[in-house]
Structure 1
């Protein structure tokens, strides 16, 4: 809501509470005449009277027809040599000024340079699979543990100079050199206990089915015996076709997110926090230093 409408509403509320005009004016840092004017407007017209009245003003230079021309142009293919429309291209196409185009775009809330991506699941069983996963989060089975499991592959051990630098504007920011040395990669398996937030992790040099099942063996061995374990996974190939392993662990049940919907897996949130706090902008001399950084984060972040 506009600040001026909020101020007028507070004036009216103060008057309705029986406060003197001087007290309302002093509290809102306005003139006493302002309080009186808006009180009278409210008495005559009610809430509608708190809004600005129509003003004649200068007639708009850009008509509704021009607005339609701009929006219609955006639905046409961009000019040859461009992948997308921009302000100057629209202005040239419509034979008008770029400022006129920007005014319309700003008013419509259209940002030509800003981009967003999206991913839509085409899984025909999306509703059933999503309900299964969300049900485990909200209402897990009795005497059971729910794990959110996934892997973060190919984490690079990059070595580069980092530090604080002063920009041309005088601000101090975290900077790092654009060139770097590569010292290999690690894969990280993680299992998030949904109920407690505890995270079980294991770093490996490769990311195959054998490493995944070895990680699951370790996680299952660390958990309390006598409980069902429900594991939420995405549809990556190493998570599928593990019937032999599941037969050997009858108390473990795999639940798969819909295709193209790995965002339903809560461990992805933890991976994002790990990247921001321990990996982004860091420098590692080798994969062992990278491994220690991950382990330190796990120890510090755990419940």
Structure 2
């Protein structure tokens, strides 16, 4: 019984260049670089079994990302939603930042990640990632300063919008 041959995956010059760039850049996330390698190997005429063997992966994994690329092109490689992964929108991130900067918890001098997590309904690690991303350190009284800029919240909103959705998906 012969295996079903998949139609060749054809890349435009721009897609090829972008995928090549993703595999070669040092700062590309490894998962994204691997997806780019899948697609490039498939575009060279490789079938899912061959590409999986070459890259040391499951055939299903290669098939999944091949289909995703066919439907969404390069954008399909750059976004990955893990089932059950928490995704918090800009409004919730902004609310944590504003609350951190503009208020204190009851009976305390500053927010801790645990108290903020309890107050905001987010996990402790999510609060810590938000604070780290924006350089907030409310526990360091000597270095922590509240912004007096009246446009600070708007600037934070603009800054959050600059982050790729893949980065924000871990909030």
TM exceeding 0.5: no
**Structure richer in strand, relative to its length:** 1
**Structure richer in helix, relative to its length:** 2
Greater relative contact order, per chain length (Cα 8 Å cut-off, separation 6+): 2
- State the TM-score, normalized to the length of structure 1: 0.27
- State the TM-score, normalized to the length of structure 2: 0.42
